[in-house]
Amino acid sequence: MQKLYSIFTLSMLLASGTGAYAELVDISTPNSSLILNATKGERLMILHYGNPVDKMDLEALSKESGELVYPVYGLWPQNEAALSVTHADGNRTTDLTVESVSTSTTADKKVTTIQMKDPSYDLTVKANYLTREGSDVIETWVEITNNEPDAITLNRFMSGHLPIRKGDVWLTSFQGAWGNEGYIIEEPLLPGTKLIKNKDGVRNAQGARAEALFSIDGKASENSGRVIGAALCHHGNFKILIDTDYSDNHHFFAGINEENSEYHLAKGETFVTPPLAMAYSDEGIGGISRQFHRWGRDTRLHNGDKLRRILLNSWEGVYFNINEPVMEKMMADFSDMGGELFVMDDGWFGTKFQRDEPTALGDWIVDTRKLPHGLNGLIENASRHGLKFGLWIEPEMTDTKSVFFEKHPEYVIKAQNRQPVTARGGAQLVLDLSNPEVQDVIVNMVDTLLSNYPEIDYIKWDANAPIMEHGSQYLDADRQSHLYIDYHKGLENVLNRIRTAHPDVTIQTCASGGGRANWGILPWFDEFWTSDNTDALQRLYIQWGTSYFYPAIAMGSHISASPNHQTRRQIPIKFRADVAMSGRLGLELQPSQMTEEERKICKQAISDYKKVRHIVQLGDMYRLQSPFDNKGVASLMYVTPGKEEAVFFWWKADNNVGETNLRIPMAGLDPNKRYTIAELNRVGEEQLTFEGMTLTGNQLMAKGLEMPKGYTPYYSSRVLHLKAVE
Ligand code: GLA
């Protein structure tokens, strides 16, 4: 026994019901436990994921048989599997038993690895679990190594599997669309299979998203109940599969979408899956969100601890109609309003083909017909106005009408013997990032831009086309099925190289709006563009859904013109500003077309946002009243980690005569602290009755404040700044 014990340093040895010894691996976080049975020579089993388990209770758990951690295909082929392999000799069955358990620990993180092997084949699978000091998020992924005499084929290769005990389990998922990203769907898990998937190739968060929440005790609630949250951290095609058969559990699988992506693994090669991040909370969905926000800011979002600048992005202001005087005027106006960063969107480049319409992608040379003094002229102007400068690029793409494509038609994704299928404007094509030469071209382009213009502070990195046809001009015939995976490996290589050289540039990921809101891509990006829909009312919904897994610091949230360009809805500037202030604030309009009142309110919003930016961007979020509940009002707040300060947002999301004026209890405050209340963004509204007063956290959380009552002819909204008094 002694020998076994020394192998399983982390694990515990407990006599199981059969008389054999169960080797328990305890992967605990401050508020959750994952308990595995990793008995050598046996299949790896999961005994528990959820509430923290006391050591005293482990013995009872060890008597349970549990469920397979990583089901493999072949021996019970009627069940869904996490892994399916065709071995070198053509055998399609796999079996995995535990060989060893090891841990590696650094200052603030620990990785527990359970190595498994097929007893009959030289196929090794390592299941890894990463935990970090103070975080309840567990990241799991597998490494599949082929030591068989020849190549094997991976037919399915999920990052993880979790059995969830049946009862009254509800699933929350996100099923959006362009302009309506992050739309929340809640449903009970019924018998059958639920498939949430993406096959776009490039933009994997526009429609369905790679995250799911399982509410164990019936329909999810915001602040109570046991919930498991899971996010697949992968920027390519994904699959979330929940299989509910006659067994006692729902079976949740998440990983790369294997459809048309079978992967051939040469002898000696290892395939590493992307991580699946999971968290458990007994504080409802809000508890899961706060865990993911903290984990994301601390470990995955690029520069997640640095405050973001307030920017003006030129797109909705001028679209492709870029020119020097117009850019300069925008800068001057924005600077007057207290702005910090000017971003020139699409339309600035092109030589033979002019970017007045979707052409010229790939020709990343300033169009001197529009900008006679080049980027330097703009950078100088920005600096004269006290602004940083940023610009838009779409490096993974080209257009058929571009000098780049004329020279390098071999660089695009295209099936053999076919004309390329084009996207935007009948011209756009995706570059084949599986090709290392293409990777070099992109790295060189971005690196040259950032090195030639070190003043560039911000890049909006767009990606507006899906893979329109399955075909690589680079990959061999027998590796065509690698395209969807190798594209994203190539992208990571590109991003690693760019980030090594330029760690401090702020880079936004945009993909036709929120098409790349995924934790897989964010290690290289500081934020994402939340949606091309900037309508303040619909943004309440889009940002609400997106906030389930993503923190406000990552969500580009801009004040745009009224009527809104996407919905044609007219919304007063105060409401537009109050919605944008609940994310990473920016402007998306032509300031010269603003009214005096609009300018005044924007100026005030910018100045007030500076007072609370640290709370919105780095604080804990508490959602208070969902717009999805149709109660006519939506509300949320952010609280600093030490609970000294908070910002409370209240938006009338509807205007119906006779509607109850909901009283909204706050959350996340210290009940024993007293908070002084000051309204922000107040321009002309009647002073609130409690303005300047000091109330206990207890009262604010038990009862909330009486907000203005009655019929308001337009949207109304209020933002309050709470500060604890000594
Ligand atoms: C995409 C983006 C927009 C804008 C345009 C420019 O649609 O989502 O924000 O940058 O491209 O062409």
Q: How confident is the model over 330-376, as pLDDT tens digits?
A: 999 999 999 999 999 999 999 999 999 999 999 999 999 999 999 99
Which atom of ligand 1 approaches the CA of 515 most closely? 8
Which residue puts its alpha carbon closest to atom 11 of ligand 1? 512
Measured between alpha carbons, how far is residue 534 from residues 281, 565, 571 in Å? 32, 8, 11
Which residue puts its alpha carbon closest to atom 6 of ligand 1? 346
Q: Which of 345, 428, 531 to mutate to test the pocket of ligand 1 (most atoms within 8 A of CB)?
A: 345
Coil, helix or strand at residue 677? strand
The CA distance from 387 to 341, in Å, is 5
At residue 659, the pLDDT reads 81
At residue 712, the pLDDT reads 59
Tokens of 241: 């599969």
At residue 21, the pLDDT reads 62
* Residues with a CB atom less than 6 Å from ligand 1: 315, 345-346, 392, 462, 464, 510, 512-513, 529, 532
Of 432, 462, 526, 608, which one is the catalytic site residue? Answer: 462
Do 94 and 123 meet the contact criterion of CB atoms below 8 Å apart?
yes
Considering the entire predicted model, what is its pTM?
0.96
Specify whether 462 is catalytic: yes
**Other residues' Cβ atoms within 10 Å of the Cβ of residue 129:** 21
Nearest C-alpha neighbor of 447 from the set 526, 508, 393, 366: 393
Which stretches in the chain have pLDDT values below 70?
1-21, 710-714
Peptide bond into 563 cis (omega under 30): yes
Q: Which of 462, 534, 589 to mutate to test the pocket of ligand 1 (most atoms within 8 A of CB)?
A: 462
Task: Tell how far the Cα of 313 is from the centroid of ligand 1, in angstroms.
Answer: 10
Which residue puts its alpha carbon closest to atom 4 of ligand 1? 315
Q: Which residue intervals of 397-482 are DSSP H helices?
A: 403-407, 436-452
The CA distance from 252 to 163, in Å, is 6
Q: Where are the beta strands (DSSP E) in 93-237?
A: 97-105, 109-117, 123-132, 138-146, 152-165, 170-174, 184-188, 192-197, 211-215, 227-232
Which residue puts its alpha carbon closest to atom 1 of ligand 1? 512
Which atom of ligand 1 approaches the CA of 511 most closely? 8
Q: Which of 312, 346, 356 to mutate to test the pocket of ligand 1 (most atoms within 8 A of CB)?
A: 346
Of 532, 535, 608, 620, which one is the catalytic site residue? Answer: 532
Strand partners, 390: 343, 458
Do 682 and 725 meet the contact criterion of CB atoms below 8 Å apart?
no
At residue 710, the pLDDT reads 61
Which residue puts its alpha carbon closest to atom 12 of ligand 1? 346
Task: Tell how far the Cα of 532 is from the centroid of ligand 1, in angstroms.
Answer: 7
What is the tally of helices (H) and strands (E) in the chain?
13, 37
Task: Tell how far the Cα of 316 is from the centroid of ligand 1, in angstroms.
Answer: 9
Cα dihedral 559, 564, 570, 571 in deg (nearest 10): -20
Task: Tell how far the Cα of 571 is from the centroid of ligand 1, in angstroms.
Answer: 22
Which residue puts its alpha carbon closest to atom 7 of ligand 1? 512
Task: Tell how far the Cα of 697 is from the centroid of ligand 1, in angstroms.
Answer: 43
Q: Which of 532, 560, 565 to mutate to test the pocket of ligand 1 (most atoms within 8 A of CB)?
A: 532
Backbone φ and ψ of 80, nearest 5°? -65, 145
Which residues have C-beta within 8 Å of that of residue 76, sequence separation ≥ 6?
A: none
**If you ran DSSP here, which 8-state letter would residue 74 be given?**
B
In the chain, the largest separation of any two C-alpha atoms, in whole Å, equals 83
Q: Is the dihedral of CA 243, 248, 254, 258 positive or negative?
A: negative
Which residue puts its alpha carbon closest to atom 2 of ligand 1? 512
Task: Tell how far the Cα of 89 is from the centroid of ligand 1, in angstroms.
Answer: 49
**Phi/psi class of residue 66: alpha, beta or left (left: φ > 0; alpha: ψ in -120 to 50)?**
left
Specify whether 122 is catalytic: no
Backbone φ and ψ of 214, nearest 5°? -115, 115
